[in-house]
Amino acid sequence: MLNDSVIEIAKELINRRSVTPEDAGCQEAIGEFLGALGFNNETMVFEDTTNLWSRRGKEGPVFCFAGHTDVVPSGPESAWKTPPFTATEVDGYLHGRGAADMKGSLAAMLVATREFVNKYPDHKGSIAYLITSDEEGPFINGTTRVIDTLEARNEKIDWCIVGEPSSTDEVGDIVKNGRRGSLTGDLVVKGVQGHVAYPHLAKNPVHSAMAALDELAKSHWDNGNDFFPPTSFQISNIHAGTGAGNVIPGEMHVCFNFRFSTEVTDQILIERVTAILEAHELEYEIKWTFNGQPFLTDTGALLEATQGAIAAVKGTPTVLSTAGGTSDGRFIAPTGAQVIELGPVNATIHKIDECVKMSDLEQLADMYFGILERLLAK
């Protein structure tokens, strides 16, 4: 059973080496904690991924805390000032892999839930937890599979807080009320390999592709809107050649990514890219990887409760943002749920010496409690 305080719970979770997709017993400990509060636990294992769906109550509305127990690898442990999988207090900060992303958030959720249930044992609706060990990995056997299962039995989430580290300078200063969509293209431009001294006997795919790639890079995809910046296109990798300086390559490989707003769809982007490639008469193959649609929670009870709870704890308003990468919220929002992200400061996530301010975790627990109270208290 996990200990009582936010800091002690966070320590116990950090001490478990749950490098994705390993859970290392984190969810079992979380389940025991929630079970003592009257939650019904359901473990869902898909391939190499362990997931936990835990719910207290049978009626709606359903409020859900969503998060992950897996962490990214530590990198060389000798580079850390403190051991990455031994939670260590240093000058008011808690150090260790996952301290900010996102075992600290999980600890704050648990303490907030315990305090709320103790104060309001007959609360309205239901409280649920959706926890995965596949957020930092391929994300194919985690939250998305749990949502598929819930949808198949018509079990709906109304409000969801994802505990990703959303804050920039101090806890609660930023709330992510949406995320951009993500679409990746792996393009292979075909040519004919040959000797550089006999270019008439070959076809250089690098030369063939340059104009098309330039047009893609300079294209204006949309203007964005009040909540999203304009859609961006970025080439992340280009490779061609055999390694020899006297060989014209037979293929050129290009990887690119769109981060797109709600002004376009993945299908629109695919059609526009295809039209550009065809216009340049390229011989090519392309594989598309769809990573998630954009989502937005611009109004509603969850956002109002979150803004109110943060103001009550901090005394200052929060800023809404859709910037940054993707999160598992992209799998939950399409079901109709209101989704926001609220967590600690993200300055050290995925870095050597990841850490979180301990007082921030305590304040985060107060914020989570305030949100629960505003939505489900009788």
Catalytic sites, residue numbers: 70, 135
* Residues 18, 97: Cα–Cα separation, whole Å: 9
Return the closest-CA partner of residue 293 out of 255, 333, 257: 333
Distance, CA of 215 to CA of 2 (rounded, Å) = 56
* Nearest-angstrom CA–CA distance, 172 and 359: 12
What length is written for the chain? 378
Contact 32, 1 (CB under 8 A): yes
What single-letter DSSP state applies at residue 198? Answer: -
Select from 357, 316, 307 the least CA-distant residue to 161. Answer: 307
CA-CA distance, 165 to 99, in Å (whole number)? 10
Cβ count near 360 (within 10 Å): 24
Cβ-proximal residues to 118 (8 Å cutoff; 6+ apart), any chain: none
Cα–Cα–Cα angle for 356, 361, 365, nearest 5°? 160
Q: Determine the residue type at 89.
A: E
Beta-carbon count within 10 A of 30 CB = 26
Contact between 133 and 20 under an 8 Å Cβ cutoff? The reply is yes
What the block records as the tokens of 160 is 């969801």
Type and span of the H or E element at 184: strand 181-190
Please say whether the beta carbons of 37 and 25 come within 8 A.
no
| Rounded distance between C-alpha atoms, residue 94 and residue 370, angstroms | 24
